[in-house]
Amino acid sequence: MGLELPLCGNFPHAESPCCAWVGSGRAALWVLLRHLPRPRRLLVPRFMCDTVLQAPARLGIPVARYACDDQLRPLLPDDLCAEDTLLVADYFGLTGTAARQAAAGHAGVSVLDATTALFTRSALPAFYSPRKFCGTADGGVAKAPFPLPQLPERQDSSAGKSLFLLQRLESGAAAALPASQAAEDALNGEPRRMSPLTRRLLQAYDFAEIARRRTENYTALHRRLRDINRLELPDTPPSAPFCYPLASGIPGLRDALVDAGVAIPLLWPEVIEATPAHSAENRLARTLLPLPLDQRYSPADMERLADLILGG
């Protein structure tokens, strides 16, 4: 007997001629760029993981970086022209309005990075990374308002990369960390179509419940933390968020939370090295705390997290 997985079938981006399931978010961007007119260059936010650069590099597309303000709104360069493709980001599922406004002001093609905004619906060509929202080793989605027939020739295989999922369940997150890092490193390979295992896992998770719990947890955190957050966040998130981004400026808060057992990743360390210390991107990379609010937690957990932060 093998694993017996439920069949919920409510993943928010059903596979279709206009929606391709591939091996990773970076592979999904590669698919989109292959189907769009070849640009003079791809404009990419400076506040973004460098893995986004892999797809244009594979296709020989020049890249230029652009800035954002302290509210994660795009600051488009003066030399942006219609021959450029503009990449805009819906950060954490909370900045889609700013991304769409920037795209509307661009005369050329725009693409939405929704890798931290799985539940965002977009009229723009967009790419998603479901593994950031549920337990899979890989997987990506490319979605466009036109067919995407040119997919990677080879299909991915995920069984070997998924060991960390079993280790985490049996022995905890720390024990699974080496295998998790190995799975992450494997995503740097050639673009591939989504593996059968990841396809099946995406059909097993209840994404309606995932969205409900993430939204509920965001609401609980924002009610407690809005007054200390320098980011202007909506009371009701436009889509189920990836995290609660807290920019408080409280000295030592990250270390205090980590010492209390709260996992706080650094988004993204390469931004700190690549941008001026006075820039908004650099400050955000150093000080923004992506507080966890995913479906493993309840509003009561969010209250305890807020107490830690506020000293309650």
- Per-residue pLDDT reduced to its tens digit, 11-58: 999 999 999 999 999 999 999 999 999 999 999 999 999 999 999 999
Identity (one letter) of the amino acid at 245?
P
| pLDDT > 90? residue 266 | no
Asked if residue 86 lies in contact with residue 32, where contact means CB atoms within 8 angstroms, the answer is no
Q: What is the pLDDT of residues 270-281, one digit of tens each?
A: 999 999 999 999
Give the whole-number percent of the chain exceeding pLDDT 70.
100
Asked if residue 81 lies in contact with residue 108, where contact means CB atoms within 8 angstroms, the answer is yes
* Average predicted confidence (pLDDT) for the chain: 96
pLDDT the model gives residue 312: 55
Q: What is the pLDDT of residues 103-126, one digit of tens each?
A: 999 999 999 999 999 999 999 999
| pLDDT > 70? residue 198 | yes
Q: Distance (Å, rounded) from C-alpha 235 to C-alpha 243?
A: 14
120: nearest Cα among 131, 128, 109, 132 = 128
| pLDDT > 70? residue 196 | yes
Q: Classify burial at 228, counting beta carbons within 10 Å of its beta carbon; exposed 0-12, middle 13-18, buried 19 or more.
A: middle
Asked if residue 114 lies in contact with residue 28, where contact means CB atoms within 8 angstroms, the answer is no
pLDDT the model gives residue 311: 87
3-state secondary structure 5-26: CCCCCCCCCCCECCEEEECCHH
Enter the pTM of the model. Answer: 0.96
The C-alpha angle 307, 133, 28, rounded to 5 degrees, equals 145
Give the whole-number percent of the chain exceeding pLDDT 90.
96
| Bridge partner list, 75 | 67
Q: Torsion angle, CA of 267/272/274/277, rounded to 10 degrees? A: 140
pLDDT the model gives residue 238: 96
| Bridge partner list, 21 | 141
pLDDT the model gives residue 249: 83
pLDDT the model gives residue 272: 94
| 179-184 average pLDDT score | 93
140: nearest Cα among 32, 26, 59, 34 = 26
Q: Distance (Å, rounded) from C-alpha 87 to C-alpha 30?
A: 13
| pLDDT > 70? residue 135 | yes
Q: What is the pLDDT of residues 293-305, one digit of tens each?
A: 999 999 999 999 9
Asked if residue 220 lies in contact with residue 235, where contact means CB atoms within 8 angstroms, the answer is no
Q: What is the pLDDT of residues 47-88, one digit of tens each?
A: 999 999 999 999 999 999 999 999 999 999 999 999 999 999
102: nearest Cα among 119, 80, 120 = 80
| 154-164 average pLDDT score | 95
Q: Distance (Å, rounded) from C-alpha 304 to C-alpha 107?
A: 47
Q: What is the pLDDT of residues 212-262, one digit of tens each?
A: 999 999 999 999 999 999 999 999 999 999 999 999 989 899 999 999 999
pLDDT the model gives residue 263: 87
Asked if residue 200 lies in contact with residue 8, where contact means CB atoms within 8 angstroms, the answer is no
Identity (one letter) of the amino acid at 147?
P
